[in-house]
Amino acid sequence: MKYRTIGTAPGTRREVSVLALGAMWFGSATDEKTSFALLDRYVEAGGNFIDTSDNYAFWADGGQGGQSEELLGRWRRSRGVGAEVVIATKLGARPLAPGTSYVDNPEGLSAKVIREAAERSRERLGTARLDLLYAHIEDHTVPPRETVEGFAELVAEGTVGLLGVSNHAMWRVERARALAAAAGLPGYEVLQYAHSHLRPRLDVPDGGLFPDGSLGHAGPDLLGYLRAEPGLTLVAYSPLLKGAYTHPDRLPPDFDHPGTPARLAVLHEVARETGATVNQVVLAWQIGARLPTIPLVGASSVAQLEENLAAVDLELSAEQRRRLDAAH
């Protein structure tokens, strides 16, 4: 395994594996035995960066979520896992009532919610401190300063380490970070957005959470922001597009544009040259990117996880990277 540093402050920065493991389906679609096997193999391979959320997976049973955090808590206790494994979770998008969703009834990002939701996450995970806590989605009903101060209070108390943000417009991320900096408070240092080698159209509304176009994808604004702020890290979710690289019928409609075939062609060329799978080339391209990027992979079997883990040791040449970057 290889590692990189996330965060900048001596008291909160952590060394994490360059490949993160997503636990979204653990405890729901992925049963406990399989989930434990995946977690065990990931840690055995040197992985130490696991991602979840307080609302995973509310849609599985029409509830409010929490299954993933609860399973991770049981796994931590049964294996004696401590601070050596960094577990990131999110708040803000848990439905307030069963049968509702984060689109029309989210918990939001008020100071009260941040404190109470973080406490519930610590209880489910069985830990006194959340290593990395994200603001999951935007909350337009709460002043940004309240959210910034709410997260900062938990860091000051020692119950939260690093702060992160996901699925926010870049101007909102910058505003929150500027408010934090002006007040001498900790700000967001890890940004989690969807990012892969194939690029979606960013102007396609999804009809729900992002009616004006997707805020979930790492577009030019975010990548430019990372170049300007070298202390930040991108955690790239859905790097393998939910299996679309091996099952083209799964490719979402917003990837149906003229640039997709050209980038797919280069991916397959590099895969043939290296003897790796297309999935491994995508992950290796992200791991070795100039901008600090940590792909966040999901797996429903140990075989899938093994394929992903092998990407850590795949070295792409400078010329292969140039071709992958330039395809359009």
Predicted pLDDT of residue 205: 63
Instruction: Check residues 205 and 291 and name the one with the higher pLDDT.
Output: 291
Query: Tell me: the pLDDT tens digits for 242-252?
Result: 999 999 999 98
Query: What is the average pLDDT score of the chain?
Result: 95
Predicted pLDDT of residue 9: 87
Instruction: Check residues 204 and 326 and name the one with the higher pLDDT.
Output: 326
pLDDT band at 173 (very low <50, low <70, confident <90, very high): very high
Predicted pLDDT of residue 214: 61
Contact 51, 91 (CB under 8 A): no
Which stretches of 145-226 are assigned E, i.e. beta strand? 160-166, 190-194
Looking at residue 149, its amino acid is E
Predicted pLDDT of residue 213: 54
Predicted pLDDT of residue 216: 86
pLDDT band at 103 (very low <50, low <70, confident <90, very high): confident
Predicted pLDDT of residue 212: 55
pLDDT band at 281 (very low <50, low <70, confident <90, very high): very high
Query: Tell me: the pLDDT tens digits for 183-224?
Result: 999 999 999 999 999 999 887 765 445 555 567 889 999 999
Predicted pLDDT of residue 10: 86
Listed by start position, the domains of the chain span 3-326
Query: Tell me: the pLDDT tens digits for 48-79?
Result: 999 999 999 999 999 999 999 999 999 999 99
Fold entry, domain 3-326:
TIM Barrel (3.20.20)
As a whole number of angstroms, the distance between CA 115 and CA 287 comes to 34
As a whole number of angstroms, the distance between CA 199 and CA 218 comes to 9
pLDDT band at 111 (very low <50, low <70, confident <90, very high): very high
Predicted pLDDT of residue 206: 53
State the DSSP H helix or E strand holding residue 221, giving kind and residue range, or none if neither: helix 220-228
For CA atoms 43, 114, 27, 24, the dihedral sign is negative
* Mean pLDDT of all residues in 108-112: 98
Q: In the block, which residue shows the tokens 């609860």?
A: 70
As a whole number of angstroms, the distance between CA 207 and CA 213 comes to 9
Residue 107 has pLDDT above 90, yes or no: yes
* Mean pLDDT of all residues in 300-308: 97
Provide, rounded to the nearest whole percent, the portion of the chain with pLDDT above 90: 91
Question: Which residue, 163, 82, 77, 186, is CA-closest to 124?
Answer: 77
